[in-house]
């Protein structure tokens, strides 16, 4: 098995953690970087279940599907506080025999902390302000344009029928282009503006309802079925309602844009565990290729003619500002599930209260 030794050397020289998991989720290989991230040794980890090594993630659920690729950020506290991004991909033989999973782990602590710092850095602030200022200024003439087009629309209606049609077509195009510009501007402004969320106890289900309501014309016109599977026991969460609605709106829009009528459906599920509340939005749309998954959060990267490539970026930022996480799970041609994780603020407070007073 010279080949095995060679591959092992390659894996050991990587900065990324590499784990090979057998069909039952046991660790059959872990490289040095992986050991460093999770504070273990190859001997200790060998044969252990991943659940024992990395707690707080429902690994068996993630590995249940034999065809789905998953990407998620994870905060670990041991052996030191780090943010890791892992990428879990099933390995199957051509005859579909299940060979387990391969997991790649990257340390994103630095880029996350830097991103936080960058937001504060004055240089970026000046640039942000400038860009936001320009974007804002474009908004005014755009509004005025749209108003004038509405006036034109009325005038056209007064014309004889035969003259109306060609003019109405041009008008329709102009109006939809303005709508597009408006969306780009709004999303751009949201992506640029790093506002602190104003968090107050809020019912997540109400925000979900409002977001679905706002999108109902598009959802109806595409004949998409929306199913809800909501937990009756969801605690109130400390949320910035506007921001979370924005996040839900972006994820739901992506979902219905990915499905093709008439068989499109979207499922929204909520659940609660001891330490977090999850809201998962699944669609049976086009799915995302493993390559596209890698660039999903890059700004302006879009697969749509009228996309901005800013939506998911905004969603992730909003979630992180709420102390939460985002997980994207997808299978090409089958569909995508985007899961939002919110920390339970009610629990954390209680935990703090239960601590005995510190004696000096
Ligand atoms: N539910 C989904 N199904 C399929 N592809 C998706 C889904 N959500 C996101 N994507 C992919 O990720 C890309 C980035 O999404 P996003 O940041 O919202 O930008 P936009 O929607 O403007 O393209 C999309 O262009 C699409 O290729
Ligand atoms: Mg989008």
Going from the Cα of 303 to the center of ligand 1, the distance in angstroms, rounded, reads 7
Question: Are 209 and 315 in a shared domain?
Answer: yes
To 5 degrees, how large is the angle CA 232–CA 236–CA 241? Answer: 115
336 lines ligand 1 (CB under 6 A): yes
Closest residue (by CA) to atom 1 of ligand 1? 255
Asked if residue 30 is part of any domain, the answer here is yes
304 lines ligand 1 (CB under 6 A): yes
**Which of the pair, 128 or 340, is modelled with greater confidence?**
340
Question: Are 187 and 274 in a shared domain?
Answer: no
Q: What's 13's DSSP letter? A: T
pLDDT at 19: 94
Q: pLDDT tier at 349 (50, 70, 90 boundaries)?
A: very low
Q: pLDDT tier at 68 (50, 70, 90 boundaries)?
A: confident
Q: pTM above 0.85?
A: no
Q: pLDDT tier at 113 (50, 70, 90 boundaries)?
A: confident
Asked if residue 115 is part of any domain, the answer here is no
3-state SS, residue 225:
strand
Going from the Cα of 302 to the center of ligand 2, the distance in angstroms, rounded, reads 8
pLDDT at 212 over 60: yes
Question: Are 294 and 270 in a shared domain?
Answer: yes
Q: CB-based burial of residue 22 (10 Å sphere; 0-12 exposed, 13-18 middle, 19+ buried)?
A: middle
pLDDT at 350 over 70: no
Residue range of the domain that includes 36: 7-108
pLDDT at 95 over 80: no
Range in 170-174, 186-190, 353-357 the model is least confident about: 353-357
Closest residue (by CA) to atom 7 of ligand 1? 254
pLDDT at 58: 80
Asked if residue 2 is part of any domain, the answer here is no
pLDDT at 347 over 80: no
Question: Are 329 and 214 in a shared domain?
Answer: yes
Lookup result for tokens 């937001």:
119
311 lines ligand 1 (CB under 6 A): yes
Mean pLDDT of the chain: 85
293 lines ligand 1 (CB under 6 A): no
302 lines ligand 1 (CB under 6 A): yes
pLDDT at 49 over 70: yes
296 lines ligand 1 (CB under 6 A): yes
pLDDT at 122 over 80: no
Radius of gyration of the chain (CA): 24
- Which ligand 1 atom is nearest residue 335's CA? 3
Going from the Cα of 310 to the center of ligand 2, the distance in angstroms, rounded, reads 7
**Contact by Cβ (8 Å): 167, 159:** yes
Closest residue (by CA) to atom 8 of ligand 1? 254
Range in 31-45, 72-86, 227-241 the model is least confident about: 72-86
307 lines ligand 1 (CB under 6 A): yes
Is the peptide bond prior to 251 cis by the omega test (within 30 degrees of 0)? no
Going from the Cα of 262 to the center of ligand 2, the distance in angstroms, rounded, reads 21
pLDDT at 105: 93
CA pair distance 305, 48, nearest whole angstrom: 47
Task: Give the pLDDT mean for 91-113.
Answer: 81
Closest residue (by CA) to atom 18 of ligand 1? 311
Asked if residue 208 is part of any domain, the answer here is yes
Distance of CA 350 to the CA centre of its chain: 29
Range in 132-141, 150-159, 271-280, 285-294 the model is least confident about: 132-141
Task: Give the pLDDT mean for 100-123.
Answer: 75
Question: Are 133 and 90 in a shared domain?
Answer: no
Question: Are 57 and 166 in a shared domain?
Answer: no
**Which of the pair, 221 or 121, is modelled with greater confidence?**
221
- Which ligand 1 atom is nearest residue 312's CA? 17
Q: pLDDT tier at 265 (50, 70, 90 boundaries)?
A: very high
Question: Are 240 and 299 in a shared domain?
Answer: yes
Asked if residue 17 is part of any domain, the answer here is yes
pLDDT at 180: 83
pLDDT at 354: 40
255 lines ligand 1 (CB under 6 A): yes
With CA atoms as reference, report the closest residue to 248 among 219, 305, 210: 210
Question: Are 297 and 329 in a shared domain?
Answer: yes
pLDDT at 360 over 80: no
């Amino acid at each position: 098995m010279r080949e095995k030794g060679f591959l092992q050397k390659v894996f050991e020289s990587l900065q990324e953690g590499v784990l090979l998991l057998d069909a039952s989720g046991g660790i059959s290989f872990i490289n040095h970087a992986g050991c460093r991230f999770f504070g273990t040794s190859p001997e200790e980890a060998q044969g252990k279940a991943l659940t024992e090594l990395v707690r707080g993630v429902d690994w068996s659920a993630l590995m249940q599907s034999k065809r789905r690729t998953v990407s998620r950020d994870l905060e670990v506290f041991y052996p030191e506080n780090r943010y890791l991004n892992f990428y879990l991909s099933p390995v199957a033989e051509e005859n579909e025999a299940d060979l387990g999973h391969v997991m790649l782990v990257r340390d994103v602590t630095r880029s996350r902390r830097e991103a936080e710092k960058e937001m504060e850095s004055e240089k970026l602030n000046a640039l942000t302000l400038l860009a936001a200022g320009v974007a804002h200024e474009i908004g005014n003439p755009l509004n005025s344009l749209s108003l004038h087009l509405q006036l034109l629309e009325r005038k056209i209606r007064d014309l004889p029928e035969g003259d109306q049609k060609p003019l109405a077509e041009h008008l329709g195009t102009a109006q939809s282009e303005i709508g597009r510009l408006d969306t780009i501007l709004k999303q751009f402004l949201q992506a640029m503006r790093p506002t602190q969320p104003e968090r107050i106890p809020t019912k997540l289900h109400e925000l979900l309802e409002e977001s679905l309501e706002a999108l109902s014309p598009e959802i109806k016109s595409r004949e998409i079925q929306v199913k809800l599977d909501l937990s009756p026991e969801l605690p109130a969460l400390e949320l910035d309602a506007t921001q979370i609605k924005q996040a839900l709106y972006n994820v739901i829009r992506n979902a219905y844009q990915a499905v093709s009528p008439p068989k499109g459906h979207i499922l929204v599920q909520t659940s609660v565990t001891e330490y977090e509340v999850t809201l998962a939005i699944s669609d049976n749309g086009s799915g995302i290729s493993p390559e596209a998954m890698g660039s999903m959060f890059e700004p302006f990267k879009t697969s749509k003619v009228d996309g901005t490539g800013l939506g998911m970026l905004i969603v992730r930022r909003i979630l992180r500002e709420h102390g939460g996480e985002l997980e994207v799970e997808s299978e090409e041609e089958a569909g995508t599930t985007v899961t939002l994780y919110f920390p339970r603020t009610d629990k954390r407070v209680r935990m703090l209260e239960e601590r005995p007073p510190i004696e000096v």
